[in-house]
Amino acid sequence: MKMNTLVCSKPGEFNYISGEKPLLQPGQAIIKIKRIGICGTDLHAFEGTQPYFEYPRILGHELAGELMAFDDAPGFEIGEAVTFIPYFYCGKCIACRNGKPNACVKIKVCGVHQDGGMAEYISVPSYSLIHGEGLSFDALALIEPLAIGAHGVRRAGITKDEFVLVIGAGPIGLGTMEFARIAGGKVIAMDTNKDRLRFCKRKLKVGHTINALDGNVTEQLESITNGDMPTVVIDATGNLKAINNAFQYMAHGARYVLIGLQKGDICFSHPEFHKREATLMSSRNATREDFEHVISSMKKRLVDPTTYITHRVQFDQVKDEFEEWLSPASGVIKAIVEIERPFSCLQT
């Protein structure tokens, strides 16, 4: 049986192609896709700047849909709304044995290392399923990117009332700000996009914002923190210059968490880093604990997922609309793709 898929054939090129609908396999579940969130990974893959990436590839890992069939998924029911954890792990390596399946040695990230969910149906490991908990498909599609931020915040170990500088006000950075606030931190948002910074103030109620292009950033941070500087710095840009610059923004004893990913080498002054007795950490993907924290926060109304959705298109419109979302002028925070109506592929 055939289904419609959208394939990124090479950088800058999408094609609608007729593919085979997945058949149920042992230990797998089949989901009928209802919502697809567009994330930075998808945009970078389209640009040709995403690390660890090969073409052609079906993108998409921020997904929500209807559970159509499953094997070995106790507690789930056919027809229920679900999402899933899109980092498929081996369960045997050193990371998995130590409770870090998000950093599995043989990890396969849906939509990156293997084909993702820009399709009408997808087969995923049953162990990855997440109950919908009564949330909408829109909300379920946003759990994964919010979990990325929640995981970075958990890595940072934020305590009440400490200053947390989050660099990058894209969707991941915005989610990081939300969960830093929930953890009790005093959030400082930094970006170069004035519209994004206004969004932080108006929609997320972030107390302090800094445009990295306006004035001396260090002086602004000293003013905000009463001369102490932030005790937590989190990068959500994946921009090498921003990552390297941020080492100078840390307080003595600070923790620096890298959520953003880029291809180059990090460069910083060892004496400056050493005298601070600073801690540098990476934050990769998220765990089930983070997904559950996001769901709980949504249900408690600590996070409103609809805040982030600025663009909405049908599946058959993605090819024509996608490139526009690369431009800051589009004003996109989070684009959501709906699969609600049938259409015929343009290519078979």
pLDDT in tens, 201-248: 999 999 999 999 998 999 999 999 999 999 999 999 989 999 999 999
Question: pLDDT class for 337, splitting at 50, 70, 90?
Answer: very high
Give the pLDDT confidence of 10-23 residue by residue, as tens digits: 999 999 999 999 99
- Quick check: 264 pLDDT over 90? no
Closest CA to 293 of 96, 161, 144, 184: 144
Average pLDDT over residues 260-274: 93
Q: How, if at all, do strands 309-314 and 334-338 pair?
A: parallel
pLDDT at 44: 86
pLDDT for the residue 347: 45
340 falls in which pLDDT band (50, 70, 90)?
Answer: confident
Query: In the numeric block, which tokens belong to residue 222?
Result: 């000293």
Query: What's the chain's average pLDDT?
Result: 95
pLDDT at 81: 98
Chain length of the chain: 348
To which H or E segment does residue 217 belong? helix 217-224
Q: Which helix (H) or strand (E) holds 43?
A: helix 40-47
Residue 192 has pLDDT above 90, yes or no: yes
Q: Lowest-pLDDT range, 59-63, 95-99, 217-221, 260-264? A: 260-264
Q: Report whether the peptide linkage leading into residue 145 is cis, meaning its omega lies within 30 degrees of zero.
A: no
Across the range 67-90, mean pLDDT stands at 98
Least confident of 34-38, 103-107, 115-119, 343-347: 343-347
Give the pLDDT score at 73: 97
Within the chain, all domains assigned CATH 3.90.180.10 are found at 2-132+304-338
Percent of the chain with pLDDT over 70: 99
Q: Are strands 334-338 and 208-211 parallel, antiparallel or unpaired?
A: unpaired
For residues 183-209, average pLDDT: 96
How many Å apart are CA 160 and CA 277, to the nearest integer?
A: 21
> What local confidence, expressed as pLDDT, does residue 329 receive?
87
What average pLDDT score do residues 133-149 get? 97
What does the block give as tokens for 9?
Answer: 């054939």
Instruction: Give one DSSP letter per residue of 265-284, joined into a string.
Output: -----HHHHHHTT-EEEE--
Tell me phi and psi for residue 165, to 5 degrees.
-95, 120
How far is 302 from 8, CA to CA, in rounded Å? 36
Task: For residue 245, give the H/E element and its range.
Answer: helix 240-245
Domain with CATH 3.40.50.720 in the chain: 150-282
Looking up tokens 């968490």 gives 257
> For the residues 101-114, what does the mean pLDDT come to?
96
152 or 43: which carries more pLDDT confidence?
A: 152
Residues 150-282: name the CATH superfamily: NAD(P)-binding Rossmann-like Domain (3.40.50.720)
| pLDDT tens digit sequence for 279-332 | 999 999 999 999 999 999 999 999 999 899 999 999 999 999 999 999 888 999
pLDDT value at residue 345 = 66
Q: How many CB atoms lie within 10 A of CB 151?
A: 25
Band of pLDDT at residue 1, cut at 50, 70 and 90: confident
| Residue type at position 134 | G
d(CA 250, CA 42): 31
Name the helix (H) or strand (E) containing 221.
helix 217-224
Position 348 pLDDT exceeds 60: no
**Each residue of 248-260: pLDDT tens digit?**
999 999 999 999 9
- pLDDT computed for residue 346 by the predictor: 47
Asked whether residue 189 carries a pLDDT value surpassing 80, the answer given is yes
Looking at the domain that runs over 2-132+304-338, which CATH code has it been given?
3.90.180.10
Structure confidence at residue 58 (pLDDT): 96
DSSP per-residue codes, 150-212:
HHHHHHHT--TT-EEEEE--SHHHHHHHHHHHHTT-EEEEEES-HHHHHHHHHHS--SEEEET
3-state secondary structure of 117: coil
Burial class (CB in 10 A: 0-12, 13-18, 19+), 306: exposed
Position 176 pLDDT exceeds 80 = yes
One-letter amino acid of 287: T
